Structure 1
Amino acid sequence: MKGLFSAKWLTFYGGTIAFVIALFSLVTNYGEANLKAQPKISGRYKLSATDLPGCLRGKDLILSIDQSGVYLNGSILETPHSTQEQTASKKKPSLTGKFRQPNLELSGTLPQIQGCENSQISIQSTIDKTILRGNLSLKDSASRFVAKLEEPSEIKK
């Protein structure tokens, strides 16, 4: 017991504790300076396009996006849509992708849109606050679109 409180051991313990504190401080400062979370983009976006491709032509559409860090899941729904369709699209989203600020990429199928069930879709866009601008590709045709985030009061239940 007397050996544990000698000057040699106290110096060792003090040095070890100081090293751990310095290392923790260094890692914390690095994380705060260089590791930033992606901004939240989850929500429902009303799609506007002058000429949607193929089976989407003439339909009012909502792009629903769920976010987990850089990973995205989503669905495209026709408006109006039922609560059952919305619940099904949340449980099993048909689009997957990534978000690398400011670029957003989603791809998948459109099982909720009548006439588009087996169609492959790809969305590449950029986001500026609450507005998405980009290209929507369906089969061999593409269309430019703009989508605006709906406010919670605008969402019809």
Structure 2
Amino acid sequence: MHQFNVKSLTFYTIAITSVMLVFKVVTAYGESQLKAPKSVFGKYYITLAENLSNCKKNTLVLDIQQSGIFLNASLSSTPSNQEISTHREKNYSLNGKFNNNSFSLSGRVDNARLCNAIPEILQANLVPEGGLSGQITFKDVPKSIKFNAILQKPQEQSTQSFK
């Protein structure tokens, strides 16, 4: 049997204590300073303040997927129950970043889905009631159109998907 060397025992004690101390400091910092962003994941019914030209309705659906501060979204006209029940792969063509209760999404959207209007940028802020408020800039419309959006409840989503 080998005898414990005092130098080795001292080295390992200092190394283990140092690792534990660094772990405690990093954990304390993380708990006090790092906060997860608010969740904006879900489907939002957008009501535009003004009608788009060539559009019968001024309601759109914004479907947001969230991974931390990064957002992917799709924007389409209000789907019928039949469209909701079909399983088709979503094309999340809008990308953006969540920053201090607001976000901006940009990308391309199929203009046939939006009454032949092509959005360029969608900017929104979280509203205390749980929805969104913001504006959409369209390529062919000279000014931005304001909107309000209401989050669709999860039980509504699951109920409609089984029809």
State the TM bucket, normalised to the shorter chain.
Answer: 0.7 to 0.9
Deviations 1:7-56 (A, max 9, x none): 22211111111011101111111111111111211001111122044566
Deviations 1:79-121 (A, max 9, x none): 22414887332xx21211111130111111221615437x242
Kindly state the Cα deviation for residue 152 of structure 1 after the two structures are TM-superposed: 2.2
CA contact (8 A) 1:110 1:116 kept: no
Evaluate the alpha carbon distance shift between residue 136 and residue 109 of structure 1 in structure 2; reply closer, same or farther with a 3 A threshold. same
Structure 1 CA distance, aligned partners of 2:55 and 2:14?
67
Q: 1:116 maps to which residue?
A: 116
Identity %: 31
Structure 2 CA distance, aligned partners of 1:85 and 1:138?
29
Secondary structure of 1:153's counterpart equals: helix
Q: What amino acid sits opposite 1:30 in the alignment? A: Y
Structure 1 CA distance, aligned partners of 2:48 and 2:114?
19
Count of paired positions: 153
Q: Where in structure 1 are there 5+ consecutive unaligned residues?
A: none
Equivalent runs, 1:33-44 vs 2, <5 Å: 33-44=32-43
> Which stretch has the larger CA shift, 12-21 or 45-54?
45-54
Evaluate the alpha carbon distance shift between residue 102 and residue 141 of structure 1 in structure 2; reply closer, same or farther with a 3 A threshold. same
Q: What amino acid sits opposite 2:133 in the alignment? A: R
Q: Where in structure 2 are there 5+ consecutive unaligned residues?
A: none
Evaluate the alpha carbon distance shift between residue 99 and residue 52 of structure 1 in structure 2; reply closer, same or farther with a 3 A threshold. farther
Kindly state the Cα deviation for residue 59 of structure 1 after the two structures are TM-superposed: 3.4
Q: 2:57 maps to which residue?
A: 58
Q: 1:13 maps to which residue?
A: 12
Structure 2 CA distance, aligned partners of 1:77 and 1:86?
16
CA contact (8 A) 2:42 2:65 kept: yes
Q: What amino acid sits opposite 1:94 in the alignment? A: S
Evaluate the alpha carbon distance shift between residue 56 and residue 39 of structure 1 in structure 2; reply closer, same or farther with a 3 A threshold. farther
CA contact (8 A) 1:44 1:150 kept: yes
Q: 1:75 maps to which residue?
A: 74
Evaluate the alpha carbon distance shift between residue 128 and residue 64 of structure 1 in structure 2; reply closer, same or farther with a 3 A threshold. same
Secondary structure of 1:87's counterpart equals: coil
CA contact (8 A) 1:98 1:106 kept: yes
CA contact (8 A) 2:76 2:113 kept: yes
Evaluate the alpha carbon distance shift between residue 147 and residue 128 of structure 1 in structure 2; reply closer, same or farther with a 3 A threshold. same
CA contact (8 A) 2:119 2:136 kept: no
Determine which of 147, 150, 153 is the counterpart of 1:148.
150
Evaluate the alpha carbon distance shift between residue 137 and residue 68 of structure 1 in structure 2; reply closer, same or farther with a 3 A threshold. same
